[in-house]
């Protein structure tokens, strides 16, 4: 089959598609990946045909306005700006989605691209599977991650999911309905979530049941687990293993705390490195800072106990750390917990607060909002994460997460079953 994988967003959205695509390619299928233009180097370096889809997410998140909104925790303004950009680029997005879906036998879409992608799948009468990195659909066990992070009473949990579905549909129907008319399809009238009721309407849940237990969904919403890079993919991305300089630093002292900032809105990199240095020294631990979009890599810490590096092989480095602090993206979270170490989620927006709460609920770390990051809050969170009981629970959970069949195998099996 020709399988088109479509997604928009950051590396955390594109990388799981590459993992899934690799398993599908191993089975003999042809795979095409469409993703945000700033992340296309990821599938291309892994040998996939890669097409642009949607706006440059890094450009938006690194813009002065985007950095201010995210740093302040003002997700509402950020999402309004994202919606405005989407409307302005509607014609281009439609054509990019058309190209991404052309001649496909089956489509797998991320949540931000699924509404337009679903129209082309319906018009071509081909199966559509969606890939979700958190439980976005209404359910009684958990609130919608975009609405709340703490568990509510079952009816309230369900209500948050229905609210999100209604708001999301209002934001996309003005783009969906003209395209449906153009392709000769009837008016939809209701959201994609409410329309997807057939046995073949697959919605893959790319997170682990150990962290999100109790969902009473049928096989259409199978929990496949976290889609993590394997060794060949890390080698293709030049992120395999550790360079000699970092290895020497790791071997020169006690295991450090890992700080991975991903796409966090770090407006003052020097201040953040200073904060980490002060907190680490107060706790008597070393600090390994991995620079993301925050442009931290040019900074030089003032001692041998703190070091700043660029992108690293998370699988290789986190097993050599005592704890991890990061933004709480599902992929990074899976790697840090899979390494068996406590995790402090320093959440910015989207599903990150939800995952921070899951870490707290499992007793394997702590959670704070990036907007409230300070020496006091970070030191308190790390103290909570480094107590022996938390470290023991994290070690046990890590072993359980690493066992069993891979998520990519489960996902590919499910996709092949609907075709």
pLDDT above 90 (res 365): yes
Residue 270, pLDDT score: 80
The separation between the first and the last C-alpha atoms of the chain, rounded to the nearest angstrom, is: 9
Residue 60 vs residue 174, higher pLDDT: 174
pLDDT digits (tens, 9 = 90+) for 218-252: 889 989 999 999 889 999 998 888 989 999 999 99
Cα–Cα distance, 13 to 331 (Å, whole number): 9
Residue 56, pLDDT score: 82
pLDDT digits (tens, 9 = 90+) for 110-140: 998 999 999 999 999 999 999 999 999 999 9
Cα–Cα distance, 127 to 209 (Å, whole number): 26
Residue 74, pLDDT score: 58
Residue 279, pLDDT score: 96
pLDDT band at 35 (very low <50, low <70, confident <90, very high): very high
Residue 296, pLDDT score: 55
pLDDT digits (tens, 9 = 90+) for 339-364: 999 999 999 888 899 999 999 999 99
Give me the sign of the Cα torsion angle 83, 92, 170, 418. Answer: negative
pLDDT averaged over every residue in the chain: 90
Residue 295, pLDDT score: 56
Residue 263, pLDDT score: 61
pLDDT band at 310 (very low <50, low <70, confident <90, very high): confident
pLDDT band at 292 (very low <50, low <70, confident <90, very high): low
Residue 298, pLDDT score: 47
Cα–Cα distance, 325 to 336 (Å, whole number): 9
The DSSP-derived string for 306-357 is EEEESS--HHHHHTT-SEEEE---HHHHHHHHHTT--EEEEE-STTHHHHHH
Cα–Cα distance, 179 to 171 (Å, whole number): 15
pLDDT above 80 (res 198): yes
Say whether 113 sits in a helix, a strand or coil. Answer: coil
Residue 272 vs residue 57, higher pLDDT: 272
pLDDT band at 207 (very low <50, low <70, confident <90, very high): very high
pLDDT digits (tens, 9 = 90+) for 43-97: 999 999 999 998 887 777 777 766 666 666 655 665 666 667 667 778 899 999 9
Domains and CATH numbers, the chain: 2-231+405-417 (3.40.50.2000), 241-402 (3.40.50.2000)
Residue 11, pLDDT score: 87
For 87, phi then psi, to 5°, come to -65, -40
Torsion, Cα 363 364 370 371, to 10 degrees, reads 10
The DSSP-derived string for 220-254 is GG-B-------HHHHHHTT-SS--HHHHHHHHTSS
pLDDT digits (tens, 9 = 90+) for 376-400: 999 999 999 999 999 999 999 999 9
pLDDT above 60 (res 5): yes
Say whether 304 sits in a helix, a strand or coil. Answer: coil
């Amino acid at each position: 089959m020709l399988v088109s994988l479509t997604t928009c967003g950051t590396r955390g959205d594109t990388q799981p598609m590459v993992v899934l695509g690799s398993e599908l390619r191993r089975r003999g299928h042809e795979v095409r990946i469409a993703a945000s233009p700033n992340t296309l180097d990821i599938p291309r370096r892994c040998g996939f045909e890669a097409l642009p889809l949607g706006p440059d997410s890094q450009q938006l998140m690194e813009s002065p306005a985007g950095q201010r909104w995210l740093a302040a925790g003002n997700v509402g303004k950020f999402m309004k700006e994202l919606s405005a950009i989407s409307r302005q680029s509607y014609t281009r997005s439609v054509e990019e989605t058309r190209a991404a879906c052309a001649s496909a036998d089956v489509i797998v879409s991320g949540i931000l691209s699924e509404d337009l992608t679903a129209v082309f799948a319906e018009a071509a009468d081909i199966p559509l599977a969606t890939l979700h990195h958190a439980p976005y659909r209404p359910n009684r066990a958990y609130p919608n991650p975009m609405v709340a992070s703490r568990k509510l009473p079952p009816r309230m949990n369900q209500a948050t999911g229905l609210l999100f579905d209604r708001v999301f549909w209002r934001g996309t129907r003005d783009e969906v309905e003209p395209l449906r008319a153009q392709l000769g399809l009837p008016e939809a009238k209701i959201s994609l979530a409410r329309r997807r009721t057939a046995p073949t309407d697959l919605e893959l849940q790319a997170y682990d049941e150990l962290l999100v237990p109790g969902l009473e969904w049928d096989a259409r919403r199978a929990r496949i687990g976290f889609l993590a890079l394997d060794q060949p993919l890390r080698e293709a991305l030049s992120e395999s293993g550790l360079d000699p300089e970092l290895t020497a630093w790791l071997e020169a002292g006690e295991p450090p705390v890992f700080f991975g900032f991903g796409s966090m809105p770090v407006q003052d990199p020097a201040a953040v490195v200073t904060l980490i240095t002060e907190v680490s020294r107060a706790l008597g631990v070393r600090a390994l800072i991995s620079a993301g979009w925050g442009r931290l890599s040019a900074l030089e810490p003032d001692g041998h106990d703190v070091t700043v590096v660029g992108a690293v092989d998370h699988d290789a480095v986190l097993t050599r750390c005592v704890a991890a602090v990061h933004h709480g993206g599902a992929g990074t979270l899976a790697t840090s917990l899979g390494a068996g170490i406590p995790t402090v989620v320093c959440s910015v927006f989207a599903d990150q607060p939800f995952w921070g709460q899951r870490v707290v609920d499992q007793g394997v770390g702590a959670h704070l909002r990036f907007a409230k990051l300070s020496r006091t809050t970070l030191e308190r969170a790390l103290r909570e994460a480094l107590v022996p009981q938390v470290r023991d629970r994290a070690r046990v959970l890590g072993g359980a997460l690493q066992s069993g069949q891979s998520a990519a195998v489960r996902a590919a099996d499910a996709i092949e079953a609907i075709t």
